[in-house]
Amino acid sequence: MWEAMYDVNMDGTNDFYNNMIDTPSSQYELDCGYNYFVNYELGKDTTAVFTNLKIEDYSEHTYETLETSYQPVNNGEQLQQQWQSTSDQLSQHVPVYNPPDNYYMHSNDKNYLLPTILDVDKNYHKATASIVKKRAGRPRGAKVKRSKAEPKLSRIWEFIRDLLLDSQYCPTYICWENYEEGRFRFVQSDKVAKLWGKFKRNERMNYEKFSRAMRYYYKTGVLLPVQGKRLVYKFGPKATGWHTNNPNFKYDF
DNA sequence: GTCAAGTTTCCTGATT
DNA sequence: TAATCAGGAAACTTGA
């Protein structure tokens, strides 16, 4: 059995990468979003295989890349099906559980996302037979309806709070400036934004948009601005759950 | 069906 | 000059 990669596109269509079948251990495309592996028996007609796929044909492991950096092969020709990852890590399609920063598993393993977030995420992916890569937020152009199967997601301030209570992300991505006052600082602001985007399945998320959403909390008192300090915010009176007896940490991986 | 809440996207302008 | 901050406006989804 050989493996082929199955990619779910934003518009609901699917791509299968035949070059993986031809050269399963060397070059194949890694795309932002959900990438599945399917088992494929060499010698069978690929069209027939891919048009009759069942859920059980998919491998249990999927992964997605947060940031893609490809270099074209074939003397610089931009052939969409023949991009080669610049990362040696990405050229091995064996799922790993300690992925590099730009690569993470999308499976039931919980090492890459917060448990509170993952619980929702996991149930969603268990429940859905086919997962469509969606552009989150305000869609441009044609109207796009979100699936009814998609559960309610946590809010940004809860996401931030959970990061601060998680030794996996605090103090690497975000840290306390003053725990008693609820003041915190983004250490790697864009990575936090990307993490939020990953959670919301929105690869276009960045710190600019992330911080705009945070500023809306000033009105409601969930967050308060900290004057004169960049990347520093403070939990307001409406924020709950951040002040625990064990700030280091609520979650112990 | 309507509405409010919570974003996401895009924007301009100010500040560091 | 780039990154960040501030906030208006519009569009969108979700849940009540």
Closest CA to A39 of A19, A54, A28: A54
Q: A169: which 2 tokens?
A: 């992300």
Question: What are the sequence ranges of the domains in chain A?
Answer: 156-235
Q: A200: which 2 tokens?
A: 């919301």
Q: How do residues A133-165 score in pLDDT, each as one tens digit?
A: 333 333 333 333 333 333 345 789 989 998 888
Strand B within 7 A of A216 CB: yes
A204 vs A1, residue with greater confidence: A204
What pLDDT sits at residue A231?
Answer: 92
H/E element, A153: none
What pLDDT sits at residue A240?
Answer: 82
pLDDT value at A1 more than 60: no
The nucleotide minimizing the C1' distance to residue A155's CA is B6
What pLDDT sits at residue A85?
Answer: 30
Q: What is the mean pLDDT of residues A73-97?
A: 28
A209 vs A82, residue with greater confidence: A209
Cα(A83)–Cα(A119) distance, integer angstroms: 34
| Nucleotides of C strand lying within 7 Å of any protein CB atom | 4-15
Q: How do residues A167-194 score in pLDDT, each as one tens digit?
A: 888 888 999 988 888 999 999 998 899 8
Q: How do residues A107-116 score in pLDDT, each as one tens digit?
A: 223 333 333 3
pLDDT value at A227 more than 60: yes
Closest CA to A200 of A163, A150, A165: A150
Task: List CB contacts of A109: < 8 A, sequence separation 6 or more.
Answer: A97
**pTM here?**
0.51
Closest CA to A199 of A161, A164, A158, A153: A153
d(CA A42, C1' C5) / Å:
56
Work out whether strand A2-8 and strand A14-17 pair parallel, antiparallel, or are unpaired. antiparallel
Strand B within 7 A of A148 CB: no
Q: A240: which 2 tokens?
A: 């709950």
Query: Strand locations in chain A, DSSP E?
Result: 2-8, 14-17, 35-40, 58-65, 70-72, 83-85, 103-105, 174-178, 183-186, 223-225, 232-235
What is the CATH code for A156-235?
Answer: 1.10.10.10
Is the separation of the CB atoms in A247 and A176 below 8 Å?
yes
